[in-house]
């Protein structure tokens, strides 16, 4: 069982005629995702890998009834693209674009919350439920995805899109399959964070454990620890925090936009302490993740 999407999910790609979107549209199709339409204003009547292109989301919805959207448009156009998708009833939106103005992100996320829509990103590679569905470009070409990911019972939530695949590959190499693997996005403000995803994984009867790949910066991890305790989350969580050296470089940004530490707030030490106090298992080494999972789940 997958969270967020399944084999019946119907996808519209906004910005489909762009170079990046053209490439990942083919990869999604090759993986079996139902990409039913694309949107690029002024390009109606064209097609991308056999996918018909329309001028507006309204046209695409009228003709093909998509229920999700993957957005890859220039940063200044993202807010308009998201709002257009929401206005046309799309309830699952994946925003690939990075460098989206933070104010724009806050504004469209507020509208999404009001309408009960789920947003992944911005600045995400998307997500994969192995051998079920893929939205976005996580894992690269379909042939590479099939090598790195395999179906199973461990969910992945990662701040890094690239490391989503690295974690999945580590698990696959150790015979541990995945349920759904999500790159939450590297920006300081994103639609679905670790807490949102843990809620979904906890409700998924086929997800037996979750791996969280984290970085310094932000306080969502500390909030996740509080949520786990307050809501008595039963699904085992294994966390790995990369870039711990950033703790010794206060005020320095490293990697993603959200990776910035001010004093102890958002530091690796603070996150690790909060996780352990909440009963979340922390892997000191990246390679320790499979061992800890096998200790927590029978038959994994």
Burial category of 82 from C-beta neighbours within 10 Å (exposed 0-12, middle 13-18, buried 19 and up): buried
Coil, helix or strand at residue 29: helix
> Is-catalytic flag, 256?
yes
Q: Is the backbone of residue 217 left (phi > 0), alpha (psi -120 to 50) or beta?
A: left
Q: Which residue has the tokens 């030490």?
A: 269
- Please list the alpha-helical segments (H only) found in the chain: 19-31, 57-64, 78-87, 102-114, 142-148, 161-173, 194-203, 220-230, 268-277, 289-296
Choosing from 49, 58, 64, 256, which is the catalytic residue? 256
**CA 196, CA 206: separation in Å to the nearest integer?**
17
User: Contact, 140 vs 27, CB < 8 A?
Assistant: yes
* Catalytic (active-site) positions: 256
């Amino acid at each position: 069982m997958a969270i967020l999407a399944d084999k019946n999910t119907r996808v519209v790609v906004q910005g489909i005629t762009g170079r990046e979107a053209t490439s990942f549209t083919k990869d999604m199709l090759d993986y079996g995702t139902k990409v039913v339409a694309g949107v690029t204003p002024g390009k109606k009547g064209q097609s991308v890998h056999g996918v018909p292109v329309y001028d507006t989301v309204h046209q695409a919805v009228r003709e093909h009834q998509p229920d999700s959207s993957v957005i890859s448009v220039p940063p200044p156009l993202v807010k308009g693209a998201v709002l257009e998708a929401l206005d046309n009833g799309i309830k699952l939106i994946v925003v690939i674009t990075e460098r989206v103005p933070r104010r724009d992100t806050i504004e469209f996320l507020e509208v999404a919350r009001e309408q009960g829509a789920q947003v992944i990103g911005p600045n995400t590679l998307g997500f994969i439920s192995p051998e079920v569905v893929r939205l976005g470009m996580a894992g690269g070409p379909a042939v590479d995805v099939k090598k790195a990911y395999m179906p199973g019972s461990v969910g992945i939530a990662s701040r890094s899109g690239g490391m989503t695949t690295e974690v999945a590959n580590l698990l696959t190499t150790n015979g541990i399959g995945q349920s759904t693997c999500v790159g939450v996005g590297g920006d300081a403000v994103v639609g679905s964070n670790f807490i949102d995803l843990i809620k979904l994984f906890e409700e998924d009867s086929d997800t037996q454990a979750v791996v969280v790949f984290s970085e310094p910066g932000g306080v969502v991890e500390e909030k996740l620890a509080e949520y786990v305790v307050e809501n008595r989350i039963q699904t085992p969580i294994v966390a790995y925090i990369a870039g711990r050296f950033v703790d010794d470089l206060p005020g320095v940004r490293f990697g993603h936009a959200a990776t910035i530490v001010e004093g102890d707030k958002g530091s690796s030490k603070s996150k690790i302490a909060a996780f352990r106090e909440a009963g979340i298992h922390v892997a000191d080494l990246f390679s320790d993740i499979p061992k800890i999972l096998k200790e927590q789940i029978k038959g994994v």
